[in-house]
Amino acid sequence: MVSRDLVIETKGLRKSFPGVLANDQIDIDIRRGEVHAIVGENGAGKSTLMKMLCGLYQPDAGEIFLNGEKIELSDPGKAIKLGIGMVHQHFMLIPRFSVTENIILGAENSNRGVLNFKKAHAEVEELCKRYEFDLNPKELVADLSVGEQQRVEILKVLYRGAEVIIMDEPTAVLVPQEVDELFKNLKLLVEAGKTVIFISHKLDEVLEISDRITVLRRGQKIGTVNKEDTNKKHLAEMMVGRPVLFTVEKGEADVEGTVLEINDLHYSENGQAILNGVNFEVKAGEIYGIAGVEGNGQTELVETIVGLRKPASGSVKLLGKDITGKEVVDIRKEGIGFVPEDRHKRGLVLPMTVAENSILGKHNSKDLKKSLLLDYKKIEALTKQYITDYDIRVSSPQVEIGNLSGGNQQKVILAREFSGEPNLIIAAQPTRGLDVGAIEFVRKELVKARDAGKAVLLISADLEEVMAMSDRIGVIYNGRITSEFLPEEVDHQQLGHYMLGSEKEGAAK
């Protein structure tokens, strides 16, 4: 069925961003009329690769071929003209426009600039019929469900005559029934001779829909396999690499009483339930790791604990004291050190100096003041202390923190958050985007804190990290901790299975 000729071929694609090498030496080949999945963990470089294919990013090096001819994709418009359309993970729709308006935008059929809506509606209806899309062209996009909005996105590229449709994590936002509907649509598209590139990290879906699968890891291509020649286990291994290469030197946990206790925590946003009754506790002297596919409520859970979001119901207790829904400043006073997942948004004020960032949040403490004014001598001395203790590579405390590398920025956050003798440390994605040396440093510091008898809550999308660091592991899925394990009880594949929604028998709380 699938013809063997290549639609798209890339050779040696490379793309880097400040501090990150997102893609390196990527060679892929896509055959006409196939569903080709690109899989990999978060940060493996899937989206960057796709954005180069649709003209949003220009590669630093390498070549792209379309039907055997070399092409330059200087902008998205060019890609569309060549028949490559992208359905973005975050929809590029205008809620205030109707379905038809969204679809024709930029490719309008007009008579001297005057739109012919009758004709446009008819065209859209015709497309809907051909590919069995259930949509009303006149409806406002704002009134559509997420699944319907995605159909509008697909129609947009079809309307422009796309032959190759790139879909970036299309199922991430869909409920199961919508996924079935989407797959039905995709099959029709392929039957009509279109080619689909499907980006995902959900292996079940990938195995269901695709003909061939390319695996990326850390910006590099690991390999391409036929669906028939592989299975979930094999793919998972390709994705995460060989099981646990690094070890963290840590002794037995010396666990004491409960520090953090979360009871039936609920949180919702814009009417959408995000946390659906979270229960767990973290004890002094242990690292409790939360594993899960991103977007299952990790961010909201952490921000609810530290007071940045107000829960709908449930309770958060720290050392027996109820801190539910209190202000951040009051919660921090109870002794929480917080390493946020987004350093630049939540962790630091980039235009301020290292010294200022080091004391942010403690700037009202008496130790740092001389009568009403800040005592800059003390601040500088404290910062210098941090710089030595945490091996921060910086020439002076007065350097703007935005000029430091990611690792050194993270060390400043660690210094600030760990130095107040907190009872609980919350570290969200603490090693994301760091270089190896800094990763090791951060991990060691977390273990050190745990050995000093602090409770550590670790949230990470990096399965290896969770496995190696944690004394207990909780799996979060759809806003709930669905299972808890000791690290020696499970292996990668099992844990991955639970992260995708299975529940440990009899263990659901």
Partner 1 sequence: MLNELFSPDMMASAIRLTIPILLAALGAIYSERSGVVNIGLEGMMVVGAFWAAWGSFNYGPVVGILFGITAGMVLASIHALVTVTFKVNQIVSGVALNVLAAGISRFSSLSIFGMATTSPHVSGLPKMTIKPLAEISWLKPLVTEFSILIPISFILVGVTVWVLKYTTFGLRLRAAGENPEAADTLGINVFKMRYAGIIISGAFAGLAGAYLSIEHTGMYVEGMTQGKGYIALAAMIFGNWSAIGAMFAALLFGFAEAISLRRITTLVPYQFIKIIPYLLTIIVVSGFVKKSDPPAKVGTNYERGEG
Partner 2 sequence: MNYKYKDWLMQIAFTFGAILFAMFIGSLVIMFIGKNPITVYQSMLQFTFGRSDSIGAILFKSTPLIFAGLAVALSFRVGLFNIGAEGQYFIGALAASIVGFSLQGLPWFIHLPLVILAGMAGGMLWALIPALLKVKRGAHEVITTIMMNYIAYSVVHYFVADLFLDKAQNLPKGYGSPMVRMPKILESARMPTMHDFVGIFGVEMPRYIYLNWFFVIGILLAIAVYILIWKTPFGMEIRAVGQNPHASETVGIQSKKVYLKTFLISGAIAGLIGLSDLLGYIGYMDTDFPRGYGFTGIAVALLANNNALGVVLAALLFGFLRRGAEGLQAIEQIPMDVVVILEGVIILSIVVASQLMRRYFKTQEKKREKESQKTSASDGDKEGLENVE
Applying CB under 8 A, which of residues 112, 320, 395, 505 lies at the interface with partner 2? 395
Applying CB under 8 A, which of residues 253, 374, 468, 500 lies at the interface with partner 2? 374
Task: Note whether 133 and 151 are within 8 A (CB).
Answer: yes
**Segment contacting partner 2 by CB under 8 A, of 64-72, 207-215, 364-372, 478-486:** 364-372
SS3 category, 508: coil
Interface with partner 2 includes 332 (CB under 8 A)? yes
Minimum Å gap between C-beta 217 and partner 1 is: 21
Interface with partner 2 includes 306 (CB under 8 A)? yes
Task: Note whether 442 and 434 are within 8 A (CB).
Answer: yes
CA 69 vs CA 29, 52, 83: distances in Å: 13, 16, 14
- Cα-atom radius of gyration of the chain, to the nearest Å? 25
Place of tokens 């290469």: 245
Task: Note whether 501 and 478 are within 8 A (CB).
Answer: yes
SS3 category, 468: helix
Task: Note whether 297 and 277 are within 8 A (CB).
Answer: no
Q: Per-residue contact track with partner 2, 428 to 447, x per CB under 8 A?
A: -------xxx----------
Choose among partner 2, partner 1, none what residue 436 binds, the Cβ cut-off being 5 to 8 Å by kind.
partner 2
Task: Note whether 239 and 40 are within 8 A (CB).
Answer: yes
Minimum Å gap between C-beta 245 and partner 2 is: 7
Question: Site size for partner 2, by CB under 8 A?
Answer: 43
Residue 132 to residue 455: CA distance in whole angstroms: 54
Applying CB under 8 A, which of residues 146, 349, 381, 508 lies at the interface with partner 2? 349
Interface residues with partner 1 (CB under 8 A) are: 17-18, 54, 56-58, 75-77, 80, 86, 88, 92-97, 101, 104-108, 110, 113-115, 117, 156
Choose among partner 2, partner 1, none what residue 108 binds, the Cβ cut-off being 5 to 8 Å by kind.
partner 1
Applying CB under 8 A, which of residues 78, 369, 378, 504 lies at the interface with partner 2? 369
Q: Which of 208, 197, 206 is nearest to 168 (CA)?
A: 197
Q: Per-residue contact track with partner 2, 457 to 476, x per CB under 8 A?
A: --------------------
- What angle do the packed helices 232-240 and 492-499 form, to 10 degrees? 100
Amino acid at residue number 266:
H
CA 102 vs CA 79, 88, 146: distances in Å: 18, 14, 15
Q: Of 75 and 256, which CB lies nearer to partner 1 in the complex structure?
A: 75
Q: Which of 56, 103, 108 is nearest to 84 (CA)?
A: 56
**Segment contacting partner 2 by CB under 8 A, of 111-119, 177-185, 255-263, 370-378:** 370-378
Choose among partner 2, partner 1, none what residue 347 binds, the Cβ cut-off being 5 to 8 Å by kind.
partner 2
Instruction: Please report the DSSP string for 33-63 in residue order.
Output: T-EEEEE--TTSSHHHHHHHHTTSS--SEEE
Choose among partner 2, partner 1, none what residue 57 binds, the Cβ cut-off being 5 to 8 Å by kind.
partner 1
Minimum Å gap between C-beta 426 and partner 1 is: 29
Interface with partner 2 includes 16 (CB under 8 A)? yes
Please give the angle made by the CA atoms of 293, 298 and 302, to the nearest 5 degrees: 160
Minimum Å gap between C-beta 271 and partner 1 is: 16
Minimum Å gap between C-beta 73 and partner 1 is: 12
Minimum Å gap between C-beta 361 and partner 2 is: 3
Applying CB under 8 A, which of residues 62, 241, 277, 295 lies at the interface with partner 2? 241
Minimum Å gap between C-beta 457 and partner 2 is: 16
CA 101 vs CA 97, 107, 117, 369: distances in Å: 6, 10, 9, 60
Within 8 A by CB and 6+ apart from 346, the residues are: 340
Q: Per-residue contact track with partner 2, 245 to 274, x per CB under 8 A?
A: x-----------------------------
Applying CB under 8 A, which of residues 329, 381, 452, 507 lies at the interface with partner 2? 329
Each residue of 312-323: b (16+ CB within 10 Å) or e? eebebbbbeeeb
SS3 category, 312: coil
Judged by the rule CB under 8 A, the positions of this chain that interact with partner 2 are: 16, 18-19, 21, 218, 241, 245, 306, 308, 327-329, 331-332, 338, 340, 345-352, 356, 360-361, 363-364, 369, 372-374, 376, 395-396, 399, 403, 405, 416, 435-437
